[in-house]
């Protein structure tokens, strides 16, 4: 890996574009053509995982709204939508939009946490949509997806966005633009301007994930995907970007991040070095914010103890800074204790998640969030007894530079009315690569078949999984038929409506 020092330069210093971070990322994208057996396997796992959560969410309101918008933009030989027949195709940017919302809605696909947060699987819908429209093959999308993961995850490792209250799609959009550059075999100059435009347009505030969280949380990565596709199209037509986008006097670093005295160190593979960072990403077994995955696993253990909730005085979750402030009581968000809060808010409430999983001994991507479930009196009583507490030990482990030593878990301390203390501790969720039961291909398939049950016919499931087993051999025609199709009558909002402008 090569280290790049990124800081703000005055306009009079005239930083050459070849020394800019966006150019370094573009160089990587322009020269990445390879993959290895383990990264090939992981790309397949990620596509299975995305399809699983997209189909499971296929008839939820945000997905239906996004699909209705895409339906207004048909295109012969365009891109396909999750759930819809393959002979109905649409403009790739709108397919990426609809499919991206479907993938993100349940908050149940892959994650990578470091200096900032990310769901790098959000890069995949755009790459597949553009690949379908431009007649690319399975072999073409592999290095493209690896490029996108490499860019996003290395930005997330080294440039913190949430410290300055910026949403994490600011690292997603340039990653997608870079992945599209690899896919389309564009030159460095073109990719450079696509990345620059994508960075410029994708900075937004973290209010999207604060207080009462709305369905925009699902739309945000799809927005980044759509704007990255459009930025790439403009760059291919010779249009330029604001430059230097990271290092300029009025750049994103200068005014939206650390400021003119900040220097970031960003690591990227050297030319010819394989893109392998995808192997550091991890999926979710449970439909909730990643930092609650270990809490749910521990909640199942607590459920088995059969404690009397009325005899519990207090429950303290000792955990990392990020967990405490994003999904814990450190956020200061009263909405995290409100049974009338949105699903998007509750899946970012460690207190709600622990209470429900503890009481039920199970976790379901739909049933655990219903209004009836949130209003259960016994749950409310336990919910209000739970708080989080930052621990230096957990914060240090969360940010460990060695992936094998990272810990995204917590310690739960239950204090009974008589003073007795009961403790549960888990360093990583069971499904994490360092967990008790790391996900491999069989676990991804099990997740797919479980959460799509009742939506897909077995023959369609088998068809999709068979294609994924030969991902690098898929022809352009095969790739156009990749996404799973629901049986006739199962898909809601399958035709255009008149509710909006489109």
Instruction: For residue 398, tell me if it sits in a domain.
Output: yes
Query: Within this chain, do residues 246 and 319 fall inside the same structural domain, yes or no?
Result: no
Taking the CB of residue 233, how many other CB atoms lie within 10 A of it?
15
Instruction: For residue 432, tell me if it sits in a domain.
Output: no
Query: Within this chain, do residues 304 and 354 fall inside the same structural domain, yes or no?
Result: yes
Among candidate residues 426, 447, 482, the one where a domain is terminated: 426
| pLDDT for 291 | 93
Closest of 329, 334, 375 to residue 351, by C-alpha = 329
Instruction: For residue 467, tell me if it sits in a domain.
Output: no
| pLDDT for 177 | 99
Domain count, the chain: 2
| pLDDT for 354 | 98
Instruction: For residue 494, tell me if it sits in a domain.
Output: no
Dihedral sign for Cα atoms in the order 250, 190, 103, 151: negative
pTM: 0.94
Q: Which domain holds residue 138?
A: 2-280
Find the CATH number of the domain harbouring 188.
1.10.4100.10
Q: What is 157-172 written as a DSSP string?
A: HH--SGGGTB-THHHH
Does residue 449 have a cis bond before it (omega within 30 degrees)? no
Among candidate residues 397, 426, 455, the one where a domain is terminated: 426
Looking at the DSSP bridge assignments, the partners of residue 426 are 410
| pLDDT for 271 | 83
Query: Within this chain, do residues 238 and 356 fall inside the same structural domain, yes or no?
Result: no
- Output the six-digit token pair for 417: 């009315």
* C-alpha to C-alpha distances, 221 to 218, 392, 456, nearest whole angstrom: 7, 31, 25
Find the CATH number of the domain harbouring 314.
3.30.1330.120
Query: Within this chain, do residues 247 and 303 fall inside the same structural domain, yes or no?
Result: no
**Tens digits of per-residue pLDDT, 261-279?**
999 999 999 988 999 999 9
Query: Within this chain, do residues 126 and 273 fall inside the same structural domain, yes or no?
Result: yes
Query: Within this chain, do residues 84 and 203 fall inside the same structural domain, yes or no?
Result: yes
- Classify the phi-psi angles of 2: left when phi > 0, otherwise alpha if psi is within -120 to 50, otherwise beta: beta
10-residue block means of pLDDT along the chain (502 residues)?
A: 96 96 98 95 98 98 98 98 98 99 96 95 99 98 98 98 95 99 99 99 91 89 98 99 98 97 96 94 94 97 96 98 95 96 94 98 95 95 97 96 93 98 98 95 97 97 97 98 97 94 95
Among candidate residues 426, 453, 470, the one where a domain is terminated: 426
């Amino acid at each position: 890996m090569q280290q790049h020092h990124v800081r703000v330069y005055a306009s009079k210093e005239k930083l050459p574009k070849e020394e800019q971070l966006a150019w370094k990322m573009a160089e990587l994208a322009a020269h990445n053509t390879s993959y290895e057996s383990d990264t090939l396997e992981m790309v397949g796992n990620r596509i299975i995982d995305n399809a699983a959560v997209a189909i499971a969410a296929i008839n939820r309101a945000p997905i239906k709204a996004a699909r209705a918008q895409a339906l207004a933009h048909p295109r012969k030989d365009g891109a396909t939508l999750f759930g819809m027949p393959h002979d109905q195709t649409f403009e790739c940017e709108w397919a990426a939009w609809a499919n991206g919302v479907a993938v993100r809605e349940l908050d149940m696909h892959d994650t990578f946490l470091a200096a900032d947060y990310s769901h790098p699987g959000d890069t995949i819908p755009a790459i597949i949509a553009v690949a379908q429209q431009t007649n690319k093959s399975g072999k073409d999308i592999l290095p493209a997806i690896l490029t996108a993961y490499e860019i996003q995850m290395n930005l997330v490792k080294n440039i913190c966005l949430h410290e300055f209250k910026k949403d994490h799609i600011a690292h997603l959009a340039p990653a997608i633009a870079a992945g599209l550059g690899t896919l389309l075999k564009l030159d460095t100059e073109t990719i450079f301007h696509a990345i620059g435009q994508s960075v410029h347009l994708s900075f937004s505030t973290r209010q999207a994930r604060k207080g009462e969280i709305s369905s925009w949380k699902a739309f945000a990565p799809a927005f980044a995907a759509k704007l990255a596709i459009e930025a790439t199209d403009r760059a291919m037509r010779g249009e330029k970007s604001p430059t230097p986008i990271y290092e300029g006097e009025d750049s994103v670093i200068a005014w939206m991040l650390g400021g003119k005295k900040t220097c970031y160190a960003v690591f990227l593979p050297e030319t010819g070095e394989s893109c392998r960072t995808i192997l550091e990403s991890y999926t979710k077994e449970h439909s909730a914010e990643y930092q609650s995955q270990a809490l749910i696993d521990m909640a199942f253990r607590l459920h088995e103890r059969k404690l009397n909730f009325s005899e519990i005085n207090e429950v303290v979750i000792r955990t990392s800074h990020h967990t405490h402030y994003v999904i814990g009581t450190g956020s200061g968000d009263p909405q995290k204790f409100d049974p009338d809060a949105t699903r998007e808010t509750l899946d970012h409430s460690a207190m709600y998640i622990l209470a429900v999983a503890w009481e039920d001994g199970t976790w379901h991507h739909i049933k655990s969030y219903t209004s009836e479930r949130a209003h259960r009196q016994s749950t409310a009583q336990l919910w209000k007894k739970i708080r989080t507490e930052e621990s230096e030990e957990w914060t240090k482990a969360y940010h460990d530079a060695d992936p094998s030593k990272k810990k995204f878990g917590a310690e739960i301390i239950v204090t009974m009315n008589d003073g007795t203390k009961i403790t549960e501790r888990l360093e990583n969720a069971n499904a994490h690569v360092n967990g008790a039961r790391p996900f491999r291909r069989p676990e991804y398939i099990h997740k797919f078949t479980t959460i799509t049950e009742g939506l897909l016919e077995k023959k369609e499931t088998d068809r999709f999984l068979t294609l994924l087993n030969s991902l690098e051999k898929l022809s352009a025609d095969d790739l156009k038929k990749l996404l799973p199709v629901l049986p006739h009558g199962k898909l809601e909002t399958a035709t255009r409506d008149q509710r909006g402008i489109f």
